[in-house]
Structure formats: structure tokens, C-alpha cells
Amino acid sequence: MTSVSETEGADTGGEAVTGRWDGVDVNFGEEGGRLTYGSYLRLGLLLDQQRLESDPPAHDELLFITIHQVYELWFKQVLHELTASRDAMLSGELWLAQHLLRRVHTIERTLTQQVDILETMTPQDFGEFRHRLSPASGFQSVQFREIEFLSGAKDPSFVKRFRGLSEDEKVRLQRRLEEPTLWEAFLVVLEAAGFSVGSDEDLRKALQTVATDRAQYAATWELAEALLQHDELAAAWRARHVVMVERMIGTKPGTGGSSGAGYLRSRLDLRYYPHLWHLRSSL
């Protein structure tokens, strides 16, 4: 039973609380603390990373930097969860794979909602510092490419044509190109359930069986639905993103030299799991 015994300074006002919690020595409070909120989160370093390029400082540049840094933090978490979900599928832990994908879904909804915050910045406000960003571009987000590669949309040409990658980033992307994707892990799940997936026709029959006999293949079906939800939410983010870019800069080229909204629109039809989408036509 969880309990605290032999406490001192039972509450508080910042005083230390000491004792034992499930047999482990604990020491709560500022007086005896070895770790603080700020030191644990490394806030000194974190809050020093919003360095403005504009001079004099443009008011909305802090917002722009903060939003994109938060995106990268969420991308890191998404990669953490997707990698673990993939590994759970490969080891047969379908419940865990689905659980982690549900967490990713929630993060992906948050990523889309964050666009609303960015759109509180007007085109005029953005124009005050946009010229300072070139040739930097969201196109260069290595973590975003890792998410795409891991999800199933591997693109080796990205590594070859992007010259601004560090050696560490090249290694990371190459590793993602070589390791199993979420889709490849799902095929292992289907094979473990007794299905052949050696050809498109075999795969079509396997998915049709799973979809029409959900009582027997409930876990596999729910996992397929979780993958499709990930795909749908990623597509929703891309659609929301391109509209935001059009609202902000119209048809201007991107700061990294791309066609801007035109390039983003060319990515709207991307689907990680076309077999799961095609399945809908036969249900």
C-alpha cells in the first residue's frame, strides 16, 4: 500500500517533506530538493533558444519561432511513439501499438490546432521579418521527414537533393530509410494472423477478411483503423497548412526556394496506406 510515514513538515508552504514512500526515501520541498522544476526541464536553456533575426525586433517573430520550435518538440514525441508502436507490432503487442497510435492521434490534432495561433499573425506582421528567413524553410525539417519515412512514405531523393543536412541528420534519415515502416510492421501482424501478403491480391483478400470478420480479428482491425486515423490526421494537417500559407503569403515562392503553396498543394494527395483506403470501396 502506498503511504508516507515519518513525515516532517506535513505541509508545507515550501518546507521539506521527508519520509518513505513504498520503501523509497523521499525528500519533497525546496529545502532539501536536489532537483527543481526549472532544472529538470532545463528552462534556462529552453527559454534562451528564441533568438530573433529581425533588427529592430519584429513583434511577431517571437510567436513564429515559438510555434515552430513547439512543432519540432511534438515531432520528437511523435517519432518516439510511432517508433515504439512499430516495434510493438513487430513483437506482437497489438494493444500497445494501438494505444501509442491513439496518443499520436491526439498530438496530431494539436498540431493542426496550433495553426490557429499562427494565423493571429497578419501577412503584414509576417512581412516585417520574412525576408530574414531565407534560405531557411519548413521543407528542411528533418524530423518531419523522419515521420513521413517511418509512416511509409520513404523518399530517398530528399536526402540526395537537400544539401543543408548535417552528417548526423543524414545518418538519421538514412536509418529511417533502411528500417521497417509502420506499414511493413502491420504486414508482419497480418502474417502472424495466418494471412499471406505476398501480392496485392493476397493483401486485398487479407484485409477484406479482417474487415468482414471483426469478431475474430478485432485487434488487427482496430490496429488498421488506428493506422488509417494517423494517415487521415496527417492529411488534415497538410491541408490546413497549405491554406494557412496561402493566407499568409499567397502565391509567393517559399523562403527555401520552393514554389511555396504550390509545392504544398502537390503533397495533398499523399496517403501512407492506400490499401486501407481502397478497402473502403469494397465494404
- pLDDT tens digits along 156-203: 988 887 778 899 999 999 999 999 999 999 999 999 999 999 999 999
Domain with 234 in it? 60-282
The pLDDT tens digits for 66-93 are 999 999 999 999 999 999 999 999 999 9
Residue 102 marked in a binding site: no
Q: pTM of the prediction? A: 0.86
Residue 12 shares a structural domain with residue 123: no
In a domain, 52, yes or no: no
Residue 68 marked in a binding site: yes
Residue 241 marked in a binding site: yes
Residue 85 shares a structural domain with residue 205: yes
Residue 67 marked in a binding site: yes
Residue 127 shares a structural domain with residue 224: yes
In a domain, 168, yes or no: yes
Residue 64 marked in a binding site: yes
Residue 259 has pLDDT above 60, yes or no: no
Residue 107 shares a structural domain with residue 230: yes
Domain count of the fold of the chain: 2
Residue 110 marked in a binding site: no
In a domain, 117, yes or no: yes
In a domain, 50, yes or no: no
Residue 255 marked in a binding site: yes
Q: What is the DSSP string of the chain?
A: ---EEEEESTT-SS--EEEEETTEEEEESTTT-S--HHHHTTHHHHTT------SSPPTTHHHHHHHHHHHHHHHHHHHHHHHHHHHHHHTT-HHHHHHHHHHHHHHHHHHHHHHHHHTTS-HHHHHTTGGGTTT--GGG-HHHHHHHHHHT---HHHHHH-TT--HHHHHHHHHHHHSPPHHHHHHHHHHHTT---SSHHHHHHHHHHHHH-TTTSHHHHHHHHHHHHHHHHHHHHHHHHHHHHHHHHTTPPPTTSS-THHHHHHTTT--S-HHHHHHGGG-
In a domain, 49, yes or no: no
pLDDT value of residue 135: 62
Residue 278 marked in a binding site: no
- For position 97, which CATH number holds? 1.20.58.480
pLDDT value of residue 189: 98
